[in-house]
Chain A
Amino acid sequence: MIEIKNLKKSFGSNLVWEDVNLDIHDGETLAIIGKSGCGKSVLMKHINALLTPDEGTVIVDGHDIFKLTYVDLRILRQRFGFLFQGAALFDSISAYENVAFPLRYFTKWKEDQIHKRVMECLDMVNLSNIGDKSTAELSGGMRKRVGLARAIVLEPDYLMYDEPTSGLDPETSDEINDLIIYMSESLKITSIVVTHDMHSVLRIADSAAFLDEQKLSWYGTIDELRISKHKRLLEFIKASEYQIG
């Protein structure tokens, strides 16, 4: 379980948000929604301590992550998978090697074991025929899927997605959404998804947190979101041109 307590973050004199409190339960898929620039990705990067807050803390399975030593923090981070907005694939190595990368350093597996696990993960994201393609040869959707395969290769407990469908066509977005649902349901991974795509939110999430006006403006389940009368949330949903049926 992840508990976010009284979190506050500013960059210089610009306050991003303050007083953010949020619980993410095991097995849940939480969507963090809000306008561009409201600090969704910044909030997610606090969950595995890629950024440090001005105030407040994040507790992961009882551990205050900002009080951990760097060595312990790195061990904890291995339990997180992170799909970055642009996939953040290492462009000096092939797509296959990107997926194999964590295994080569964090396991003592032999080459055939690594190959088996890499192919398993690539198969899950429907890219088993990717071979030794360089990352430059991949389309946006393929990059995201390779990034997802790399994120799950160490069998994480938590999976974080930063704008997983941004910049993709509707069909490819749906494929990515299907994968997120598959990861959540089949692998029982707790997922946190940063997005402003309401279509995705309603398909994949169990609950949603709405960041607005430099605070956590609304938080509830997807069923509650469907009937919410929160003015700013409704405006956001309307602006995203999605009607809740």
Chain B
Amino acid sequence: MDILHDFGRYCKLLYQAIRSSTEIGTYYKNLFAEMIKTGYDSLPIVMLAGAFTGAVLTIQTAYQLVVSYIPLSTIGAIVVQSMVIELAAVISGLVLAGRVGARIATELGTMRVSEQIDAIESMGFNSVSFLVVPRVLASFFMFPVLYIAAATCGILGGLLAGIITGQVPMADFMKGGREYFFAWDIVFGLTKSIVFGFVITSVSCYKGYYATGGAEGVGKATTNAAVLSCIYVLLTDLLLAAILL
């Protein structure tokens, strides 16, 4: 029953957010601030995660493909495709579930338990439009940017790791990457990043918006937001792969 109750309230919050998304005057100031907090401020960690994932992927793939008749360009193809189709979106999604999701749930949860959300409502504002819409909308604009940054850094990281360790020459890496590069892969990756962004921010907004019980309640909301965001990222990843590939 609790799951149904939660799901019902989550859908209601989303419905309210969609209905109030036309109130641009209420949230446009917050939207820009949220885009900076969600996007710009998350760039370093996402780029770092992408670069290291790409580097490790190159080294491990080279280690596994020890057979002489498999050309070295295969490593480039594997790294580029893996980063574009899967790893850039999922790694950045998981990192952002912690970084962005926890921040949103803490912010809204603290506002809830300190009656700041009640204060917003009592002044005559639509609190959903003021707090939820800009956060979800910011993810729509910024998660694709973060995905592109993660994918680019992942590929560069993989390339550099190949060159520095001497396992894959630059020309082979580039050749493999180009040969198996399809534009659809990028569309797929971008779609995933948008869906992950929506899942992470909407779940975190929901957990924070309905937080109860003081500091302990905010802590619980934050933990739940981060954990659920990670689970939903993995579930939607599987679902999108099944539907779109």
- The reply to whether chain A is a binding partner of chain B is yes
| A contact set with B: CB distance below 8 Å | 45, 48, 50, 70, 74-78, 80, 82, 84-86, 88-91, 101-102, 105-106, 154
Q: Are B124 and A88 in contact (CB under 8 A)?
A: no
Minimum C-beta distance from B165 to chain A (A): 47
A91, B111: Cα distance in complex, Å: 9
A70, B125: Cα distance in complex, Å: 10
- Closest chain B residue, CB of each to CB of A79: B124
Q: Are B115 and A106 in contact (CB under 8 A)?
A: no
Q: Are B126 and A88 in contact (CB under 8 A)?
A: no
A154, B125: Cα distance in complex, Å: 13
- Closest chain A residue, CB of each to CB of B25: A105
- Closest chain A residue, CB of each to CB of B120: A90
Q: Which 5 A-B pairs have the closest CB atoms?
A: A78-B124, A88-B119, A88-B115, A82-B122, A77-B124
A75, B126: Cα distance in complex, Å: 11
Partner of B122, one of A50, A70, A75, A91: A50
A101, B122: Cα distance in complex, Å: 13
Minimum C-beta distance from A181 to chain B (A): 23
Q: List 9 A-B contacts (CB under 8 A).
A: A48-B122, A77-B121, A77-B123, A82-B118, A84-B115, A84-B118, A85-B115, A101-B123, A154-B123
Q: Are A105 and B122 in contact (CB under 8 A)?
A: no
Q: Are A88 and B125 in contact (CB under 8 A)?
A: no
Taken residue by residue from 44 to 64, chain B's Cβ proximity to chain A (1 for < 8 Å, 0 otherwise) reads as 000000000000000000000
Minimum C-beta distance from B167 to chain A (A): 49
B114 contacts A by Cβ under 8 Å: yes
Q: Are B124 and A45 in contact (CB under 8 A)?
A: no
A158, B118: Cα distance in complex, Å: 17
Residues in A with CB closer than 8 Å to B25 are: 105
Instruction: Contacts A84-B115, A101-B123 known; list 9 others, CB within 8 Å.
Output: A75-B124, A77-B121, A78-B123, A78-B124, A82-B122, A88-B115, A102-B123, A105-B25, A105-B125
Residues in A with CB closer than 8 Å to B119 are: 82, 84, 88, 90
Residues in A with CB closer than 8 Å to B224 are: none
Q: Are B116 and A90 in contact (CB under 8 A)?
A: yes
Partner of A74, one of B114, B115, B116, B124: B124
Q: Are B26 and A88 in contact (CB under 8 A)?
A: no
Residues in A with CB closer than 8 Å to B26 are: 105
Minimum C-beta distance from A83 to chain B (A): 10
- Closest chain A residue, CB of each to CB of B107: A92
A101, B126: Cα distance in complex, Å: 14
A89, B120: Cα distance in complex, Å: 10
- Closest chain B residue, CB of each to CB of A78: B124
- Closest chain A residue, CB of each to CB of B130: A105
Minimum C-beta distance from B123 to chain A (A): 5
Residues in A with CB closer than 8 Å to B126 are: 70, 74
Residues in B with CB closer than 8 Å to A105 are: 25-26, 125
Residues in A with CB closer than 8 Å to B115 are: 84-86, 88
Minimum C-beta distance from A184 to chain B (A): 19
Residues in B with CB closer than 8 Å to A75 are: 124
- Closest chain B residue, CB of each to CB of A82: B122
A85, B126: Cα distance in complex, Å: 21
Partner of A50, one of B114, B121, B125: B121
A101, B29: Cα distance in complex, Å: 12
- Closest chain A residue, CB of each to CB of B113: A86
Minimum C-beta distance from A238 to chain B (A): 31
A237, B25: Cα distance in complex, Å: 49
